[in-house]
Amino acid sequence: MAKLFPLVVLLLLTGCASRAYQRAKEADTVEAYRAFLREHPQDTLAEAVQVRIEELEFAEARKLHTVVAYKRFLESYPEAAQTRAASSLLEGLRFNAAKEANTAAGWRQFLADHPEGAQRDEAKRLLAEAERQELASTGDSKQLASFLRGAEDDPRRLEVEERLDTQSFVQARASGATKLFAYLRDFPAGRHREEAKVMLLSLELEGLLVSGLLEEVEARLKTSPLGPQLPNWSTRMVRARAEREARESREPLAQAVQAGYYLRDLGDLERALGAPDPLDRWEAAEELGQHVSVRALEPLLTAFRTARNPLIRLRALESLQSVLRALPREVAEYEVASRLESLRERASSAEVYLTIAALLDLTGQLELAATEYQRAFDAGAPDPVVLRRWVQLRQERRQPFSAAVAARQLALWSLGVAREEEVSAEGGVPLASARQLCAALENARFAADVISRVRQTATEFPEDLEGFGLLASDAVKLSEARLADAELLLRERNPHARLCRDRQVRERLDSAVKERTAAVEAVGSKLPKMAPLLWALVKDRDPVPEVRAVAAAKLSALEGRGN
């Protein structure tokens, strides 16, 4: 009896499987057949059941007759007998969709999906027709350039190149100096090169006029073969001479409305950038930012690029921002773009990468600037000016914790300077060391303030922020102590030595803003004939936005009265 038991079990199982198959067959649905396979995966009927599932699934795909349905079938049953038919039906649907849209992009996508399809040749023919139609009407320079990349032997190449040349110039002309320089670079034999150069010359001369350099403009017009092609420049020169006459008026009030009245001249400030005392140099850099002149840019860039003391470089960067914001937008763009063109040709050192980064940054091209800042950054010797700028950028982007992380790095730099600078009566106190400690203290205080404000508002990583705050506090305390020691020794040797806290230039500039504002308010009643021109000059060329706003309001009121 025991020997018969396995046979009995086998017969019972076979009977169960047969009944289960019969039920699935009667239902004849995918769900029923899948239930059978789950219960009897090794049954001799399993293969036939799988074939029936594929038949039903294909029938359902044909019933739906959509791209999604056929794709799902092919992905689920790549070895099914119906695969070829499903692929053909899918190709037909996609072909009809591409034909209805009839775009070059649609036909390219069809050929990418069905590179060996039955309708491949017809799709290629229709793609060529769509490309011809699109090329005949498109104003998209990128589309034209994309076509040319693979069209060396195409008979349409010359016509498309000509259209791309013209369209690129039209876009550059409407955009400004950056695109005009790019046009000259991208089209070395372009039809509109001379027009682009004339426009760039016009921007260059406008910058000189805004800066009051009329003699340089006249000399440039005489020597440039493009000068005669400049439109309306005789009228522009008449206006510029009238502006200069107003600027050079001996009327005290006419002088008092102008920023230059309160400043050292550009030559003196440029010489001061080479003074022995770094404090004199960073004050000169700060004051240069009040000169709204293209001639202030190069000395500031040089100071930013080459100075060793971070405060000189920081003040130079801030002044560059001030000058570029005060210049007319198109002039500022030209001054930056022309320098970028020159720098990119010799970009091979950290100094040059840093200058490129600053120029991009100051004109709002932050993504490009970030790349150049990264190329210039040395993790082993971090640049405090770059670190400080990173803090500011992350604050502007509302990334408080990232700003605090950068501020911590800045505090670490300050702490390192405070520990390493030698301060002793025996060895003497070099002036440069005392001024370096001044930079350490200013940056430590900046970092501590940023971290403190982040701790007040942020809920993320409170323990990390607490550690950042303690580090910044240590940097402030040590920098203060070491600076006090250094300046005490300086005063012992020279009682008239200037201290880090000296703010004479800053106070003079702040006082000048108040005096200028009062003069702008008074000029309407005391010099009524000159007032409109003086207000226009202040509105366009004062380095301080608040003073410009007062002048703009005066002009608006004058226009409102119908004058």
Please give the residue that has the higher pLDDT: either 4 or 118: 118
Residue for token pair 């791209």: 67
Query: Could you count the other beta carbons within 10 Å of the beta carbon of residue 462?
Result: 10
Q: Comparing C-alpha atoms, which of 265, 310, 262, 303 is closest to residue 285?
A: 303
List the single range of 157-166, 204-213, 255-264 with lowest mean pLDDT: 157-166
> pLDDT (tens digit, 9 = 90+) per residue, 120-169?
888 888 887 777 766 655 656 666 666 656 666 566 666 677 877 888 89
Has residue 280 got a pLDDT over 90? yes
Contact 252, 219 (CB under 8 A): no
CA distance 445 to 213: 41
For 391, the token pair is 């803090």
Please give the residue that has the higher pLDDT: either 340 or 44: 340
Has residue 7 got a pLDDT over 50? no
Has residue 315 got a pLDDT over 90? yes
Please give the residue that has the higher pLDDT: either 262 or 13: 262
308-333 average pLDDT score: 95
> pLDDT (tens digit, 9 = 90+) per residue, 9-32?
333 344 556 788 888 888 889 888
> pLDDT (tens digit, 9 = 90+) per residue, 405-458?
999 999 999 999 999 887 776 656 678 889 999 999 999 999 999 999 999 886
51-73 average pLDDT score: 89
For 194, the token pair is 């001379």
Contact 535, 555 (CB under 8 A): yes
> pLDDT (tens digit, 9 = 90+) per residue, 480-522?
999 999 999 888 888 888 999 999 999 999 999 999 999 999 9
Dihedrals phi, psi of 172, to nearest 5 degrees: -65, -40
355-376 average pLDDT score: 88
Contact 411, 475 (CB under 8 A): yes
In angstroms, how far is the first alpha carbon of the chain from the final one? 125
Amino acid letter, residue 425: A
313-325 average pLDDT score: 95
Query: Which pLDDT does position 348 carry in this prediction?
Result: 75
Query: Which pLDDT does position 146 carry in this prediction?
Result: 64
Q: What is the DSSP secondary structure assignment for residue 425, as one 8-state letter?
A: T
pLDDT band at 303 (very low <50, low <70, confident <90, very high): very high
521-526 average pLDDT score: 92
For 474, the token pair is 């240590």
Query: Which pLDDT does position 458 carry in this prediction?
Result: 66
Dihedrals phi, psi of 40, to nearest 5 degrees: -135, 65
CA distance 211 to 298: 14
Beta bridge partners of 424: 428
Q: Which residues contact 527 (CB under 8 A, 6 or more apart)?
A: 251, 253, 254, 534
Dihedrals phi, psi of 426, to nearest 5 degrees: -70, -45
Query: Could you count the other beta carbons within 10 Å of the beta carbon of residue 382?
Result: 17
Contact 323, 297 (CB under 8 A): yes
pLDDT band at 8 (very low <50, low <70, confident <90, very high): very low
